[in-house]
Amino acid sequence: MSHPATAARHPRPRRLLLLAPTLLLLAACTGTTATPRAQDASAATTPQVTGPLCAALPTGTDPGNPTFLAGQPVDEALRWIPTLTTFEAALRTSGVLTDLPAGTAVTVLAPTDDAFAATFSEDNWDDLMTHHTDQLRTLLKAHLSTGAHPIGDLATAGSTTTIDGATITVTRTGATTRLADRADTVCADYQATNARIHIINAVLGPLPVTADGTGHRAH
């Protein structure tokens, strides 16, 4: 028969001493393998924007880069994209985004500043912003659809319906995607909180009578 006092005095401490280095080694190994997995997951979720204009927009760790914008509300994200100052100001002035029900996912087809400059003179655009809010809201609604849709999904579907009730065609054309046979994506698939932003090179929807296409708007 074994003696409890002897067993407590010798075998148990010896096992603990032998196991301790092994446990430390396992903990060290576990720590070294966890870090790469976290990095891989982060890399897999980094937003990938596509289009010929993307190279001229913020990348990497620059302010306004796609990864940073992915954590911003859509109205804030639009403020960080330097080529969308006209569109962002129009959305803010009109209040169209704030009229959407809380939590509504949205796809934004955002014309560049150059697109607005090719469609409105400076005086006409200022008149629209100042005196014709209803027309401005109608114009902007032609650039928004519910649901945060990647550009590939829109192209696969072949069309999308904007919040003004209009259906526009969406077709893949090489490296870009054509919308309503009028505009092409120049940097697609920006992500924001509950939103996708696709930058396009033309203004969509029924243009107000103030649009004269003189192209003299200041940038």
C-alpha 212/C-alpha 214 separation (Å) is: 6
Sort 36 into a burial class: Cβ within 10 Å, 0-12 / 13-18 / 19+: exposed
Output the pLDDT for position 207. Answer: 85
Q: How does pLDDT run along the chain (219 residues), one tens digit per residue?
A: 444 444 444 444 444 344 444 433 434 444 443 333 333 333 347 899 999 999 999 999 999 999 999 999 999 999 999 999 999 999 999 999 999 998 999 999 999 999 999 999 999 999 999 999 999 999 999 999 999 999 999 999 999 999 999 999 999 988 899 999 999 999 999 999 999 999 999 999 988 866 655 554 443
Has domain 54-200 been given CATH number 2.60.40.10? Answer: no
Residue 155: other Cβ atoms inside 10 A: 20
Output the pLDDT for position 25. Answer: 40
Q: Where are the domains of the chain?
A: 4-44, 54-200
For residue 33, give the 3-state DSSP assignment: helix
C-alpha 99/C-alpha 95 separation (Å) is: 6
How far, in whole angstroms, is CA 73 from its chain's centroid?
Answer: 9
Query: Phi and psi for 137 in degrees, rounded to 5?
Result: -65, -40
C-alpha 112/C-alpha 39 separation (Å) is: 34
Copy the structure tokens of residue 51: 């289009």
Output the pLDDT for position 218. Answer: 41
Contacts of 166 by beta carbon, 8 Å cutoff, 6+ apart: 142, 205
DSSP secondary structure letter of residue 179: E
